[in-house]
Amino acid sequence: MKMFSEERRKRIIDYLMKHNRATVKELAEILNVSTVTLRSDLNYLESEGLVQRTHGGATLIESRPDFPSMTSFSVREKTNQAEKQAIGRVAADMVNTGQCIILDASSTCLEMARVLVTQQKRLTILTNGIMTAMELRENPQFTVILIGGILRMGSVGLEGNLGTHILNELNVDIMFTSARGFVYHDGLTDFNVYEVELKKAMAASAQKLVALLDHSKLGRISIASFAAPEDIDTIITDSGAAEEDILKLRELGIEVIVA
């Protein structure tokens, strides 16, 4: 059966996660594709910052525990910023006074926080994002809870499961999250395997999961999945999203809102 490029690339990542390195020949044999096709896949994954090409093969550069991020937060914050601001405004308007919500440490959720902080709503907000927490603390009607964890070099988000006990003590209405990308067979994926574990716990604690994804995230893959398509209630994207992507998401039963 023919394998789509999205699935092939995810299988390449899965293989490199286990073995760290592989040759073009062995990957082509495993996936039953030509070396030309395989090289094209590796070139794409290298352009996404996921693998490093070597002579005759590739290695997974993000498998190192000390790898801080695919791109620094300051760079990601400025990427597609107008789209993220539009998505953040729509997401903030979804929140009602009296709710308990979670915001992850993404740059899109930070844009949402910048809108929320101007609104007159009584909220309890949990986050693993340091910059997001600092933004939200300016509203006296907010109870802001920073989910504890490990702070790694180059990161603005806490990672790991050290502080997840707080999630068992509160009834969370909605988790708002972004991701490195969304693919149809794996759902929301991210590049930081440590933060992914925390995102899984946060998503599991919420009654509703809302993903904030600008158009560049749709169809993009990364190392680890933290929410399957069936776990996502709503995706907020921007007008740059392809109509075929929006239709396919709706066919999966996901509400799609275009900011």
DSSP string across 181-235: EEETTTEEEES-HHHHHHHHHHHHHEEEEEEE--GGGBT---SEEEE-GGG--EE
pLDDT, one tens digit per residue, over 206-241 is 999 999 999 999 988 887 889 999 999 999 999 999
CA 44 to chain centre: 19
Q: How far apart are CA 94 and CA 123, in angstroms?
A: 13
Taking the CA atoms of the chain, what radius of gyration do you get in angstroms?
19
Candidates 1.10.357.10, 3.40.50.300, 1.10.10.10, 3.30.565.10; correct CATH number of 5-63? 1.10.10.10
Q: In what order do the strands lie in the sheet with 181-183?
A: 181-183, 187-190, 224-227
pLDDT, one tens digit per residue, over 17-57 is 778 889 999 999 999 999 999 999 898 888 777 788 888 89
Collapse the DSSP code of 5 into the 3-class scheme (helix H, G, I; strand E, B; otherwise coil) and give the result: helix
Q: Pick the residue with more confidence: 98 or 70? A: 98
Q: How far apart are CA 201 and CA 237, in angstroms?
A: 24
Burial letters for 40-58: b for 16+ Cβ neighbours within 10 Å, e otherwise? ebbebbeebebbeeeeebb
Strands 57-60, 51-54: pairing kind: antiparallel
pLDDT at 50: 78
* 73-258 classified as CATH 2.40.160.20: no
pLDDT, one tens digit per residue, over 137-169 is 999 999 999 997 888 766 778 888 888 889 999
Q: Where are the domains of the chain?
A: 5-63, 73-258
Asked whether the predicted pLDDT for residue 9 surpasses 50, the reply is yes
Asked whether the predicted pLDDT for residue 59 surpasses 60, the reply is yes
pTM: 0.77
| 96's tokens | 């009602």
| 256's tokens | 């799609």
